[in-house]
Amino acid sequence: KKIEPKKEEYVIASDTAFAPFEFQNTDNKYEGIDVDLLNRAAELQGFKLKWNHIGFAGAVQAVQGNQADAMIAGMTITDERKQSFDFSNPYFESGIQLAIKKGNTEIKSYDDLKGKKVGAKIGTESADFLQKNKEKYGYTIKQYDTADGLYDSVRGGQIDAIMDDYPVIGYAISQGQKLTTPIKRESGGSYGFAVKKGQSPELLEMFNEALKEMKKTGEYDKILDKYIADGN
């Protein structure tokens, strides 16, 4: 089914570095699961996009401040976010996980984080999780604007552990980053494409229609397989 776009062009906010969902390739062009899925959805449904890769917290603000029509950034659908966003159908099943520098044998459970420094990206589900469990495990939190700063800090030993979405940690490890995940991931949390609550319902509808079609034709699996070795 084809839905009629209501705008000449939709401005899409996204993260700066959240591989394999969005990242700059060696030609400095953005690619990844989110980028490919939405670009293909636009082709299939016949709407135009303008990408704005400004970071996760920046994207949330841009949509809420009407500087962007929507965001796709490996954004987890949560009840809290549903108060200010409307989400598409879920397009990826995710979850968060702790990662430490490879070779660190000190941290085997959350209890081992007592007195340690743990990092996460500002405004994310991981940052929320760390905040919620801070008293219980007795660590301190360091927040980062970008994944680069976060991952550099744990590899460099400035912080002891990081919390991030498991496919993103998995991708970093597959790219040779010396990290390891000693604790089983926290389950749950699907990604959704999001608009400001009550706005541009046609955009979500176009995405949902295209997603359904891409799943049917196998294009969805192809895009995932391109970026995630085991298909997940």
Please give the DSSP secondary-structure letter assigned to residue 132: H
Site for ligand GLN in 91-130 (CB under 6 A): 121, 124-125
Among 18, 23, 85, 207, binds ligand GLN (CB under 6 A): 18
Site for ligand GLN in 160-199 (CB under 6 A): 165
Q: Token digits for 136? A: 């219980």
Minimum separation from the CB atom of position 231 to ligand GLN (A): 20
Pick the closer one to ligand GLN by CB: 54 or 75. 75
Minimum separation from the CB atom of position 75 to ligand GLN (A): 4
Minimum separation from the CB atom of position 68 to ligand GLN (A): 14
Site for ligand GLN in 30-59 (CB under 6 A): 56
Pick the closer one to ligand GLN by CB: 124 or 200. 124
Closest C-alpha among 76, 75, 92, 78 to residue 14: 75
Q: Token digits for 78? A: 């949560």
Pick the closer one to ligand GLN by CB: 56 or 139. 56
d(C-alpha 191, C-alpha 95), whole Å: 10
DSSP string, 108-164: SSGGGGTT-EEEEETTSHHHHHHHHHHHHHT-EEEEESSHHHHHHHHHHTSSSEEEE
User: Residue count at the site for ligand GLN (CB under 6 A)?
Assistant: 11
My answer on whether omega of the bond before 5 falls inside 30° of 0, hence cis, is no
> Under the rule (CB under 6 A), what is the footprint of ligand GLN?
15, 18, 56, 73-76, 121, 124-125, 165
